Structure 1
Amino acid sequence: MNRSAMSLAALVALGLSGFGAFSSLAPAAAGTAAIVAAATERTETFAIENMTCALCPITVKTAMEYVDGVKSVKVNFDAKTATVVYDPSIATVEAIARASTNAGYPATPAGQGS
């Protein structure tokens, strides 16, 4: 191998070994992003009216998930509630309730938001 080829191989090897040191920081950065995202999320529980059959919770969940900023919806048929995790910089409690109400299932905040 000539000298320039050996120099190039050495630089590539050093570059790759240095990349490993920086790639070990990626999980920490991802963890920080998850913490920031969790800090900006809110949870609100809604009382849901008119749920009478097994398909009702699916309709409520689908309507609420359609609102931009909603991260997750869990509907409890027996308790007639829906617990929604959302980004308050995008979605509002009013918009989430309106989505369910417009689908035929009036929703009102149960006052347990965080």
Structure 2
Amino acid sequence: MVLASLLSAPAWATSQTVTLSVPGMTCAACPFTVKKALTRVEGVSKVEVSFEARQVLVTFDDSKTSAQALTRASENAGYPASFEE
């Protein structure tokens, strides 16, 4: 039984961090909206917004969400985002 419970959790799940470019953040309130939208995505553990750089650093559990889901959440909040290189 113990082995079955250990194998039920994906062993390959890892914490990942991506940087999103959000050029549409043009006012002081924008970062709060973007952060709130990203924080609501299941699996997101940390969101750091830089209004000055128009960037968001997001740490998430890749077994619960994906980087594409993050950009979709930002876009759904009215702020299209893309991946930083």
Same fold (TM over 0.5): yes
Structure 1 or 2: more helix by fraction: 1
Hey, which bits of structure 1, 4+ residues long, moved more than 4 A? none
Distance 1:49 1:62 in 2: 17
Higher RCO (CA < 8 A, seq sep 6+): 2
Of 48, 58, 61, the residue aligned with 1:84 is 58
Q: Deviations over 1:14-57 (max 9, x none)?
A: xxxxxxxxxxxxxxxxxxxxxxxxx8211000000211111100
Distance 1:72 1:100 in 2: 15
Report the 3-state secondary structure (helix = DSSP H, G, I; strand = E; otherwise coil) of the residue aligned with 1:106: coil
Residue 105 (structure 1) shift: 0.5
Mind listing any 5+ residue stretches in structure 1 that lack a counterpart? 1-38
Matched, 1:41 2:3: no
Distance 1:45 1:108 in 2: 9
Mind listing any 5+ residue stretches in structure 2 that lack a counterpart? 1-12
Report the 3-state secondary structure (helix = DSSP H, G, I; strand = E; otherwise coil) of the residue aligned with 2:20: strand
Normalising by structure 2, we get a TM-score of 0.82
Percent identity between the two aligned chains: 47
Of 91, 102, 114, the residue aligned with 2:76 is 102
Larger Rg: 1
Q: How many residues align?
A: 73
Structure 1 or 2: more strand by fraction: 2
Normalising by structure 1, we get a TM-score of 0.62
Letter in 2 for 1:52: T
